[in-house]
Amino acid sequence: MTQAGVTPIDFGTDRAAVARALDALQLRYLGDQKGAVSDSIRYALQGEGKRLRAVLVMAAHRAAGGKKDVSGLAAAVEVVHAYSLVHDDLPCMDDDDMRRGRPTVHKVFGVPAATAAGMAMVPLAARVALDAAMDIGLTSKQGGAIVRTLMQASGATGMIGGQLLDLEGEGRELNLEELERIHRWKTGALIEAAMTIGGIAAGASPALLQTFATYGASVGLAFQIADDVLDITATTDQLGKTAGKDLAFKKSTYPALLGIAGAKARAEALVQEACKGLAEHEALTPELEFLARFIVARRS
């Protein structure tokens, strides 16, 4: 991960730890299971990605003074993110053929298998998160809070609710408040949860957890704004997924409402807000500042 104007931070060690945790959970929970659904889950989890949400779990944990190996918890967050991509790409959703530079899950294994795999990945993530919490010696209360946070981010007032609102908004001219509600749920909820989960695992105070949640909500929205801008300014090869989908589906976007310059300014303001909040609570680490700024400056 690189970012102009901010000292680059290499999260290669974190990303490698998450990759190992994802490999381990496949062995632990899928074993030698055969069939299209199990194969679809493996395929979804093995796709190359930035692992941004997982890295945020680990960075938040360190920012709160944590010393444990939380790669298992980070992997649980990645399972939920991977599920969301599987379902988001389905023909009844965004109907996409490419994700992370390769064919989408339903293109390889079929729509029924991809649909079932996505459904199975949500309870899988809950089990992975609880077991990971117990494996590193967290209390049952902490483990329960982590699972609850992850499931709330995945549900009706999180990703699923946001996806439904997104579908309902196609072909309509949404105002900024309506658009931000969609994306605070669809995109921001899991990023907020990643920060919160890292903090819970470190035993952070309620005040610090709230600060982490606010940071996550702000950078989550900034992430979506950056996605909207990239959808019209980047190529399919750069994105690893089909460019120009928002226009094709007649979706309201930040560039459509604010212009490209206005959308970028809104994203920058959200990043400043996120970092300022952490700084006021003496919790702004170089890692978290870098990640916030990377989110709006990325090229894919």
First to last CA, the chain: 11
pTM, 2 dp? 0.92
Structural contact between residues 189 and 220, judged by C-beta atoms closer than 8 angstroms: yes
Average pLDDT over residues 156-185: 88
Least confident interval from 61-70, 83-92, 163-172, 247-256 = 247-256
Is residue 28 included in any domain, yes or no? yes
Write out pLDDT tens, residues 96-146.
888 878 999 999 999 999 999 999 999 999 999 999 999 999 999 999 999
Cα 183-158-162 angle, rounded to 5 deg: 45
Query: Residue 244: its pLDDT value, please?
Result: 66
Rounded to whole angstroms, the Cα distance separating 17 from 15 reads 5
Is residue 3 included in any domain, yes or no? no
In sequence order, the β-bridge partners of residue 103 are 98
Rounded to whole angstroms, the Cα distance separating 220 from 169 reads 20
Domain that holds residue 206: 12-297
Is residue 47 included in any domain, yes or no? yes
Residue with the bigger pLDDT between 249 and 36: it is 36
Is residue 279 included in any domain, yes or no? yes
Is residue 5 included in any domain, yes or no? no
Query: Residue 7: its pLDDT value, please?
Result: 67
CATH for 68: 1.10.600.10
Residue with the bigger pLDDT between 123 and 297: it is 123
* Number of CB atoms found within 10 A of residue 235's CB: 10
Q: How many domains is the chain built from?
A: 1
Q: Tell how far CA 49 is from the center of its chain.
A: 11
Mean pLDDT, all residues of the chain? 91
Is residue 7 included in any domain, yes or no? no
Average pLDDT over residues 284-292: 96
Residue 261 burial by Cβ neighbours in a 10 Å radius (0-12, 13-18, 19+): exposed
In sequence order, the β-bridge partners of residue 99 are 102
